Amino acid sequence: MKKSHDFYTDIIVKYFKDNFNWIDFEICSDSKNDYFPRVDSIKIKNNFTDELILKIPDFSAINHNSFPRISILGEAKTYKDFLEASKRRDEQIDYMMQFLKVKEKPYLIYSLPFQLHASINNILEEKKIEHLAQNVEIIILNELSIDL
């Protein structure tokens, strides 16, 4: 059965709720199946051109009260989106790495079909090196990771 973008976003939300004290976070989600507000665009400066870049991740959660401050971005991809929109996918990852690498305790949660786990793991590890973002903790989820 073909899974929707919302399905993979819901996996991120479920993982987050199961693994973080989510009451303490400012949370936004792109899913139609939860009650969190929609994700706002997040602004960063392009390191190469100094232009301001606006992107909207599928999930974001920030705990302003914790020490160190936890910052989480989540991205969900269907099989088709991952393969057919690779330029967009890579730009989103570049953006998220740039945003997260300056945070105190950053996480990037990526949710996609299990067949693509190895591919995204390789891409994310390369992007961490490219962006000097070794402090970003990567969590890769799929439909086998969690019961919805």
Q: pLDDT tens digits for 10-34?
A: 999 999 989 998 788 888 877 666 5
| 94 has pLDDT over 70 | yes
**Residue 130, Cβ neighbours under 10 Å: how many?**
11
Q: Yes or no: say if 138 and 102 are a contact pair by the CB < 8 Å rule.
A: no
The confidence score (pLDDT) of residue 18 equals 92
Distances (CA, A) of 68 to 8, 96, 104, 111: 28, 19, 6, 25
Ramachandran quadrant class, 48 (left: phi over 0; alpha: psi -120 to 50; beta: rest): alpha
Q: pLDDT tens digits for 28-86?
A: 877 666 555 455 555 555 555 555 555 678 898 988 887 888 999 999 999 999 999 88
Round to whole Å and give the CA distance between 72 and 108: 6
- The residue extents of the domains of the chain are 5-141
pLDDT above 70: percentage of residues in the chain: 82
Q: Yes or no: say if 99 and 135 are a contact pair by the CB < 8 Å rule.
A: no
